[in-house]
């Protein structure tokens, strides 16, 4: 919905291990043109879901109003904080994203062991099955 109304929005990729995404999870969130956030109740619901399903957050995927890049706010407020975690940013509220062009549109970042988000080619860290 975010892209259709010109708002940033996020989803989380969940899995039991790092090799495969088992679930797409869309937390309840507050959105506007230049920001999204999950309130404390939404985070509690996420953690309960992770415990119940025995999953972990592998990646956060969100949109930006313009170009795809990891902003300072993205660095500071990232939901995933473990080394090897992914953060993908889609341009123009993801309005042009399809299964076929997703990896070429997304700016893809990997969290290093030094806690820095480093840009990577999506195709080098992800395989679409």
Residues 6+ apart with CB under 8 A from 100: none
- pLDDT score, position 65: 94
- pLDDT score, position 34: 87
Q: Which of 127, 128, 67 is nearest to 93 (CA)?
A: 67
Query: What CA–CA distances, in Å, run from 86 to 25, 75, 112, 118?
Result: 15, 12, 10, 10
pTM of the model: 0.88
Residues 6+ apart with CB under 8 A from 4: 95
Q: Show the domains of the chain with their CATH numbers.
A: 3-125 (3.40.140.10)
Cβ burial of 45 (10 Å; 0-12, 13-18, 19+) is middle
DSSP state for residue 121 in the 8-state scheme: -
pLDDT in tens, the chain (129 residues): 566 678 899 999 999 988 899 999 999 999 888 889 899 999 999 999 999 999 999 999 999 999 999 999 999 999 999 999 999 999 999 999 998 999 899 999 999 999 999 999 766 777 765
- pLDDT score, position 59: 96
3-state helix, strand, coil in the chain (%, to 5): 25, 30, 45
Q: Which two tokens stand for residue 54?
A: 């025995």
Count of Cβ atoms closer than 10 Å to residue 57 Cβ = 20
């Amino acid at each position: 919905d975010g892209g259709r109304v010109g708002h940033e929005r996020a989803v989380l990729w969940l899995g039991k291990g790092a090799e495969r995404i088992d679930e797409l999870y869309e937390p309840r969130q507050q959105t506007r043109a230049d920001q999204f956030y999950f309130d404390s109740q939404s985070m509690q619901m996420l953690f309960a879901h992770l415990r119940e399903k025995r999953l972990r957050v592998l990646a956060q995927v969100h949109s930006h109003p313009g170009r795809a890049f990891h902003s300072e706010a993205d660095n500071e407020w990232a939901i995933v904080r473990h080394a090897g975690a992914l953060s993908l940013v889609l341009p123009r509220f993801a309005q042009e994203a399809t299964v076929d062009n997703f990896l070429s549109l997304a700016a893809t970042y990997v969290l290093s062991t030094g806690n820095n988000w480093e840009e990577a080619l999506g195709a080098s860290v992800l395989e679409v099955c």
